[in-house]
Amino acid sequence: MLALKLAYRNLVGKKLRAWLNIGVLSFIYVLIIWHQGIFSGMYEQAAINSVKDEIGGGQYWHRNYDPFDPLTLEESHGPVPPELQALVDGGRAVPVLIRQATIYPEGRVQSIMLKGIDPAQKILAIPTAALGSDRETLPLMAGRVMAKRNSFKKGDLITMRWRDARGTFDAREGEIVEIMSSIVPTVDAGQLWLPLERLQEMTSLPGAATLITIDKEMTDPPMVAGWIFRDHNYLLKDIIDIVRSKRVGGAIMYSILLFLSLLAIFDTQVLAIFRRRKEIGTLMALGMTRGRVIRIFTLEGMMNGLLGIVVGAVYGIPLLYFSATRGIPLPYSGEEWGIAMTARLFPVYSVWLVGITVGIVMCTVTIVSYLPSRRIARMKPTDAIRGKIS
Amino acid sequence: MGGGEFTALKGLDLQFQRGEFCGLIGPSGSGKTTLLNIIGSLDVPSAGSAIVLGHRVESLSEKQAARLRSKHMGFIFQTYNLLPVYTVFENVELPLLLMATTEEERREKVMAALKWVRLLDKVHSRPSQLSGGEAQRVAIARAIVKEPELVLADEPTANLDAQNSYNILDTMLRLNEELKTTFIFATHDEKVIRYLKRKIYLDDGEVIQDEIVHAGA
C-alpha cells in the first residue's frame, strides 16, 4: 500500500511528462483493442456468412475435387452415395454439381463455373427457390458482383457452352431469373447457378454431384468411401489466413507505437533515478531496503500502464461500444478483400482480447520500468543521500 | 576503517550513552560524517567493530540494518531531504508507514511531532512552500515521529541563518531533555557546538578531544 501510494504521488508529481506517457499508453490500449476487434469482427462476419451461404455444417468433396485446379472438374463428380442420399432426402444435405462452361457477355469470352443445386434446398441461405420457376428457358442465378461485372440483369439471356460427360460440346441459352446479393465471393464471382437436375441432364451426368453440403446443425458426419469430409477448420482456412495476415500488419504498426511509448517510459525512469538519488538515499535511511526502493520505482513506471487503462477506459469504452453497435462503414466493398464482408463492419471485442492486450502492455511496461530501477541496487545509501553517483 | 587507499577513521574507541546530546566536531574530511554513517548503519567499517543499540553493524544484513534504522533511528540531513511531492504531513508520516501502525495512531503521532516543532499550521504545505528553517523543522519532526532512541544529524544548521539555527537547536535540545532522545551531530558550526553536552573533536580520522560539558558550564 505504501509503495502504491508513493508511486502514485511521484508519478502524478511528474505532471506533463507523466500524462503524456499515460495518454500515449491509453491510446495504444484503445488502438490495439479496436484494431483487433475489427479483425475479430471481420472473421466472425466472414465465417458466419460463409457458413450461411456456402459451407453449412461442412462439405463432402468428391475425392478428385480440387477447387484450385479447374482441370480436375471433368473428373470430380460421382453419384451421391447412399449414406448421403438419405441425408439429402431428409433435407439435411444438398448436393452440388460443378462444371466448367464458357459464356459470351458483351462479345467477350469468359470461362465460368456452372453450379447445379436443388432449387428446393433449405441448407444454404442463397435464394435457390427462384431457380424452381416453371419456365421453358433454362433458369440461371448470378451473384451481385458477377452481374455487375458482366452487366447482367434479370431477364437477360445468356449463351453458354459446355462439354458433357463424353467431352462433346453443347450450347444453349439460359435466362437470368435472380441476382442474389450474397456477400460471399466464392458463391458469386465467375459462376452461375442453375437447377441440379437440369445441369445433370445437360452434362449427361444423372444423379452426379461434385460436393455435398450438410446442415450446419449436423454433428458427427459419417465417413463415406470416395468422398472426403471437409470441416469448418478446413473450409474457413482462407478466411483465417487472410484475417491473420491483416492482424500481423496491424500488430507491426502498434508494436512500433508501443515501442516508442516504452522508450519514453524507460527514459523517464532513467531520468527519475538520476534526479532522485537523494530521495532514494533518504528512503534507505528511513528504513527501506534497496529491493523495496526498486519496487517503488518499478511500480511508479507500472502506474503509467495502470493509469493508461483508466484513461483509455474513459474514452475507449464509449468509442468501442459505439463502433461495435453502429458498425464501421468500409471504404470499399467486401469482394475486394477476398472474403465475405458487408458494407458495414461490426467489430467484436472479447474479454480475452481486452485481457491479453492489457496483459501484454502491462508486462512490457513493467519490464522497462524495472530495468532502469536495477541501478538502485548498486547505489550506496551514503552517496545517494548526498546526491552522488556511486 | 575505510577502504582502499583512503582511511577515513582510525583507532577510534568511543561509547555513547542513552540521552546524550553530543557532537562530532571537525573540519571537512575529518571523518565525522563517515562515523555518523557507521553509527546509522548506512556504512560499515572495513576493520574493527561498531556496536549500535546492541547490534554489531558490520554483521547486519541489508534487511536487518534497514529494520534497525526504521525502528530505532531518526536522520536529519544538511539539505533536509524532504520528498518534494508529499505534503508536510506525509513527509512526517513516512517513517511510520514503514512500521506496523494504524492510521489513527499515525495521525496522532504526526500531529504530536509537528506540534513539537511548531508547524501545525503547515500540515498541508509542500516542501517548496517552506522556508529553510521550516523545512529543517519538518525533517526533525520526521526524525522524531517514531520516537527513536537515536537521532543522527549531519550538519543540520549548515543551510540555515542564525535565528533559524537557534530555533532548531532549541527544539532538539527540548526533545533531548523531555523525551530523552539521544542526539549525535556531525558539525563544525559554532552555533551547534555551543549547545552540545559532549563534544568529540576529530581530525584526520582520529579523536583528538572528547569533552563532556557539565551543566552550567
pLDDT tens per residue, range B153-171: 998 888 888 888 888 889 8
The answer to which of A4-13, A238-247, B147-156, B172-181 has the lowest mean pLDDT is: A4-13
Residue A342: per-residue pLDDT: 67
Is the pLDDT at A271 greater than 60? The verdict is: yes
Whether residue A309 lies inside any domain: the answer is yes
Is the pLDDT at A60 greater than 90? The verdict is: yes
Task: Verify that A156 and A13 share a domain, yes or no.
Answer: no
When pLDDT is averaged across residues A143-148 and rounded to a whole number, the result is 90
Length, in residues, of chain B = 217
Whether residue A193 lies inside any domain: the answer is yes
Task: Verify that A89 and A209 share a domain, yes or no.
Answer: yes
Q: Which residue, A230, A263, A287, sits at the end of a domain?
A: A230
Q: Which among A385, A388, A390 is the top mutation candidate for probing chain B, defined by the most B β-carbons within 10 Å of its own β-carbon? A: A385
When pLDDT is averaged across residues A130-135 and rounded to a whole number, the result is 80
Instruction: Name the domain count of chain A.
Output: 2
CB pair distance less than 8 Å for A284 and B42? yes
Whether residue A390 lies inside any domain: the answer is no
Task: Verify that A224 and A77 share a domain, yes or no.
Answer: yes
Please identify which residue in the block is written with the cell numbers 520528498.
Answer: B83
Task: Verify that A347 and A310 share a domain, yes or no.
Answer: yes
Q: Which of A12, A13, A285 comes nearest B42 by C-beta?
A: A285
The answer to which of A343-347, B5-9, B192-196 has the lowest mean pLDDT is: B5-9
| Residues A228, A63 contacting (CB under 8 angstroms) | yes
Mean pLDDT, all residues of chain B = 89
Is the pLDDT at A350 greater than 60? The verdict is: yes
When pLDDT is averaged across residues A181-189 and rounded to a whole number, the result is 86
CB pair distance less than 8 Å for B66 and A385? no
From the CB of residue A191, how many other CB atoms can be counted at a distance below 10 Å? 17
Residue A6: per-residue pLDDT: 78
Confidence class for position B1, pLDDT limits 50, 70, 90? very low
Task: Verify that A257 and A286 share a domain, yes or no.
Answer: yes
Confidence class for position A142, pLDDT limits 50, 70, 90? very high
Task: Verify that A125 and A223 share a domain, yes or no.
Answer: yes
Residue A85: per-residue pLDDT: 92
Confidence class for position A337, pLDDT limits 50, 70, 90? low
Q: Give CA–CA dist B135/A211, Å, rounded.
A: 87
Whether residue A200 lies inside any domain: the answer is yes
| Pairing mode, strands A169-180 and A138-143 | parallel
CB pair distance less than 8 Å for B63 and A289? yes
Task: Verify that A225 and A298 share a domain, yes or no.
Answer: no
| Residues B18, B182 contacting (CB under 8 angstroms) | yes
CB pair distance less than 8 Å for A287 and B75? no
Residue B217: per-residue pLDDT: 45
Q: Which residue, A230, A249, A267, sits at the end of a domain?
A: A230
Query: In chain B, pLDDT over 90 holds for what percent of residues?
Result: 54
Whether residue A336 lies inside any domain: the answer is yes
Cell of A40: 475479430
Task: Verify that A13 and A131 share a domain, yes or no.
Answer: no
pLDDT (tens digit per residue) in B181-202 = 899 999 988 888 999 999 999 9
From the CB of residue A263, how many other CB atoms can be counted at a distance below 10 Å? 11
Q: Which residue, A230, A254, A284, sits at the end of a domain?
A: A230
CB pair distance less than 8 Å for B66 and A13? no
Residue B42: per-residue pLDDT: 92
Q: Dihedral through CA B135, CA B138, CA B139, CA B145, nearest 10?
A: 180
Whether residue A164 lies inside any domain: the answer is yes
Q: Which of A12, A286, A290 comes nearest B95 by C-beta?
A: A286
Whether residue A67 lies inside any domain: the answer is yes
Residue A334: per-residue pLDDT: 54
pLDDT (tens digit per residue) in B69-117 = 999 999 998 888 998 888 999 999 999 988 888 999 999 999 999 998 8
Task: Verify that A163 and A285 share a domain, yes or no.
Answer: no
* pTM confidence score: 0.72
Structural domain range at position A289? 2-52+238-385
Query: Which DSSP string do the residues of B9-48 spell out, in sequence order?
Result: --S------TT-EEEEE--TTSSHHHHHHHHTTSS--SSS
Would you call B124 helix, strand, or coil by DSSP? Answer: coil
Whether residue A271 lies inside any domain: the answer is yes
Mean pLDDT, all residues of chain A = 88
ipTM of the complex: 0.89
Q: Minimal Cα distance from B38: which residue of A?
A: A382
Confidence class for position A66, pLDDT limits 50, 70, 90? very high
Q: Give CA–CA dist B75/B153, Å, rounded.
A: 6
When pLDDT is averaged across residues A234-260 and rounded to a whole number, the result is 86
CB pair distance less than 8 Å for B66 and A287? yes
| Residues A282, A6 contacting (CB under 8 angstroms) | no
Residue A207: per-residue pLDDT: 92
> What amino acid is encoded at A278 in this protein?
K
Is the pLDDT at A157 greater than 70? The verdict is: yes
Task: Verify that A81 and A153 share a domain, yes or no.
Answer: yes
Q: Which among A282, A290, A295 is the top mutation candidate for probing chain B, defined by the most B β-carbons within 10 Å of its own β-carbon? A: A282
Q: Give CA–CA dist A194/A102, Å, rounded.
A: 15
Q: Give CA–CA dist B3/B46, Å, rounded.
A: 6
Confidence class for position A172, pLDDT limits 50, 70, 90? very high
Query: In chain A, pLDDT over 90 holds for what percent of residues?
Result: 52
Q: Give CA–CA dist A87/A346, Å, rounded.
A: 35
Is the pLDDT at A204 greater than 90? The verdict is: yes
Query: In chain B, pLDDT over 70 holds for what percent of residues?
Result: 96
Q: Which of the pair, A45 or A55, is modelled with greater confidence?
A: A55
Is the pLDDT at A335 greater than 60? The verdict is: no
Residue B175: per-residue pLDDT: 86
Task: Verify that A224 and A194 share a domain, yes or no.
Answer: yes
Task: Verify that A65 and A162 share a domain, yes or no.
Answer: yes
